[in-house]
Structure 1
Amino acid sequence: MFETVDDVPRYVAEMFPVFIALAVAENGIRLLKGKSILRPNDTMASIGQGIFQECIRINIRSFEVFMYCIVWNNCRVLTLQWDSQITWWLCFFGVDLGFYIFHRISHEVNIIWSVHQAHHSAEDFTMISSLRQAAIQPFTAWFAYLPLALFIPPSIFLTHLQLSELYMIWIHTEVIDKLGPLEWVLNTPSHHRVHHGRNRKYIDKNYGGTLIIWDRLLGTFEPEDSAEPVAYGLVHPIQSYNPFYLQFHHMISIVNKIYNTNDWNERLCYIIKGPGWSPGKSRLGHLDDVPVIEHPVEYWSPSIPLWQNIYCISHFGLVLVFYHLLINNHKNFSQIAVSYCILILLFSITSIGFLLENRKYSLHFECFRCLSFLYFYSKFLPFVLTPDFDFNSLLFINKFFMLSFAFSASICAILIFIQTKPFVPIARHLYK
Structure 2
Amino acid sequence: MNLITLAIPFFLIAVLVELALDRWRGWGLYRLNDAIGSLSAGILSRITGLVRKGVGLLIYIPLYQLLTPYYETVGFSWSAANPWHLLLAVVAYDFCYYWKHRFAHEINIFWADHLVHHQSEDYNLTTALRQPCGGLPIGWIFYLPLLLIGLPAELMITAGAIDLIYQFWVHTQKFPKVRWMEWIFVTPSNHRVHHAQNKVYVDRNYGGVFIIWDRLFGTYQEELKQEPCIYGVRKPLNNFDPLAANLQHYKRMALDAWYTKSWWDKFTLWFRRTGYRPADAEAAMPVPSCDLEHFERFDPQIGRGRRIYALLQHLIYSGGTLALLWYAQQLDYSQQLVAVALLALGLIANGRILNGHSWARVAELVRLAVLIAALPLLPATLSTSLVGYVAVSALTWWWLAFTDKEDTVALVSD
Residue 400 of structure 1: how far off its partner (Å) = 2.0
Bigger CA drift: 297-306 or 11-20? Answer: 11-20
Quick one: distance in 1 between partners of 2:302 and 2:406?
12
Q: What is the letter of the counterpart of residue 128 of structure 1?
A: T
Quick one: distance in 2 between partners of 1:269 and 1:336?
37
Partner residue in 2 for 1:92: 90
Residue 325 of structure 1: how far off its partner (Å) = 2.3
**Residues 87 and 152, structure 1, Cα contact 8 Å, conserved in 2:** no
Secondary structure of 2:137's match?
A: helix
Residue 60 of structure 1: how far off its partner (Å) = 5.8
Partner residue in 1 for 2:412: none
Residue 317 of structure 1: how far off its partner (Å) = 1.3
Partner residue in 2 for 1:365: 363
Quick one: distance in 2 between partners of 1:271 and 1:315?
37
Partner residue in 2 for 1:125: 123
Residue 158 of structure 1: how far off its partner (Å) = 1.1
Partner residue in 1 for 2:390: 401
Question: Against the structure 1 CA distance between its residues 123 and 148, is the aligned structure 2 distance closer, same or farther, given a 3 Å change threshold?
Answer: same
Partner residue in 2 for 1:78: 71
Secondary structure of 1:364's match?
A: helix
Q: What is the letter of the counterpart of residue 365 of structure 1?
A: A
Show structure 1 runs of 5+ residues with no match: 1-8, 281-288, 386-390, 416-426
Quick one: distance in 2 between partners of 1:30 and 1:65?
41
Partner residue in 1 for 2:253: 254
Residue 240 of structure 1: how far off its partner (Å) = 0.4
Q: What is the letter of the counterpart of residue 211 of structure 1?
A: F
Question: Against the structure 1 CA distance between its residues 44 and 256, is the aligned structure 2 distance closer, same or farther, given a 3 Å change threshold?
Answer: same
Partner residue in 1 for 2:18: 26
Q: What is the letter of the counterpart of residue 78 of structure 2?
A: W
Residue 237 of structure 1: how far off its partner (Å) = 1.3
Secondary structure of 1:170's match?
A: coil
User: Do residues 56 (structure 1) and 52 (structure 2) align?
Assistant: no
Question: Against the structure 1 CA distance between its residues 138 and 29, is the aligned structure 2 distance closer, same or farther, given a 3 Å change threshold?
Answer: farther
Q: What is the letter of the counterpart of residue 361 of structure 1?
A: W
**Residues 81 and 87, structure 1, Cα contact 8 Å, conserved in 2:** no
Secondary structure of 2:123's match?
A: coil
Secondary structure of 1:139's match?
A: coil
Quick one: distance in 2 between partners of 1:228 and 1:33?
24
**Residues 183 and 212, structure 2, Cα contact 8 Å, conserved in 1:** yes
- 1:43-82 CA-to-partner distances (Å, cap 9, x unmatched) read 1111111111112211468554444223212345325222
Quick one: distance in 1 between partners of 2:127 and 2:387?
30
Quick one: distance in 1 between partners of 2:85 and 2:35?
39
**Residues 322 and 394, structure 1, Cα contact 8 Å, conserved in 2:** no
Counterparts in 2 of 1:134-153, with a 5 A limit?
Answer: 134-137=132-135, 139-150=137-148, 151-153=150-152
Residue 372 of structure 1: how far off its partner (Å) = 1.3
Quick one: distance in 1 between partners of 2:211 and 2:371?
46
Residue 94 of structure 1: how far off its partner (Å) = 1.3
Quick one: distance in 2 between partners of 1:394 and 1:176?
46
Q: What is the letter of the counterpart of residue 56 of structure 1?
A: T
Residue 86 of structure 1: how far off its partner (Å) = 5.9
The CA RMSD measured in Å over matched residues stands at 2.4
Residue 153 of structure 1: how far off its partner (Å) = 1.3
Quick one: distance in 2 between partners of 1:291 and 1:352?
26
**Residues 242 and 353, structure 1, Cα contact 8 Å, conserved in 2:** yes
Question: Against the structure 1 CA distance between its residues 86 and 301, is the aligned structure 2 distance closer, same or farther, given a 3 Å change threshold?
Answer: same
Quick one: distance in 2 between partners of 1:66 and 1:312?
39
Counterparts in 2 of 1:31-430, with a 5 A limit?
Answer: 31=23, 33-59=25-51, 63-76=55-68, 77-78=70-71, 80-83=76-79, 87-137=85-135, 139-150=137-148, 151-278=150-277, 293-294=292-293, 297-377=295-375, 379-381=376-378, 384=379, 391=381, 395-409=384-398, 414=402
Quick one: distance in 1 between partners of 2:319 and 2:202?
38
Question: TM-score normalised to the size of structure 2?
Answer: 0.88
Residue 155 of structure 1: how far off its partner (Å) = 1.7
Question: Against the structure 1 CA distance between its residues 184 and 44, is the aligned structure 2 distance closer, same or farther, given a 3 Å change threshold?
Answer: same
Secondary structure of 2:121's match?
A: coil
Quick one: distance in 2 between partners of 1:229 and 1:333?
48
Quick one: distance in 1 between partners of 2:347 and 2:333?
21
Partner residue in 2 for 1:423: none
**Residues 122 and 232, structure 1, Cα contact 8 Å, conserved in 2:** yes
Residue 154 of structure 1: how far off its partner (Å) = 1.4
Secondary structure of 1:401's match?
A: helix
Quick one: distance in 1 between partners of 2:312 and 2:319?
11
Q: How many residues align?
A: 393
Quick one: distance in 2 between partners of 1:194 and 1:124?
13
Residue 114 of structure 1: how far off its partner (Å) = 0.8
- 1:234-275 CA-to-partner distances (Å, cap 9, x unmatched) read 112121011111101111111111122222333344212222
Q: Percent identity?
A: 24
**Residues 134 and 247, structure 1, Cα contact 8 Å, conserved in 2:** yes
**Residues 45 and 241, structure 1, Cα contact 8 Å, conserved in 2:** yes
Quick one: distance in 2 between partners of 1:394 and 1:66?
37
Partner residue in 2 for 1:5: none
Quick one: distance in 1 between partners of 2:41 and 2:234?
20
Quick one: distance in 2 between partners of 1:408 and 1:262?
47
Quick one: distance in 2 between partners of 1:59 and 1:193?
33
Residue 32 of structure 1: how far off its partner (Å) = 5.2
Q: What is the letter of the counterpart of residue 20 of structure 1?
A: L
- 1:153-182 CA-to-partner distances (Å, cap 9, x unmatched) read 112111111000100000111010111111
Q: What is the letter of the counterpart of residue 126 of structure 1?
A: N
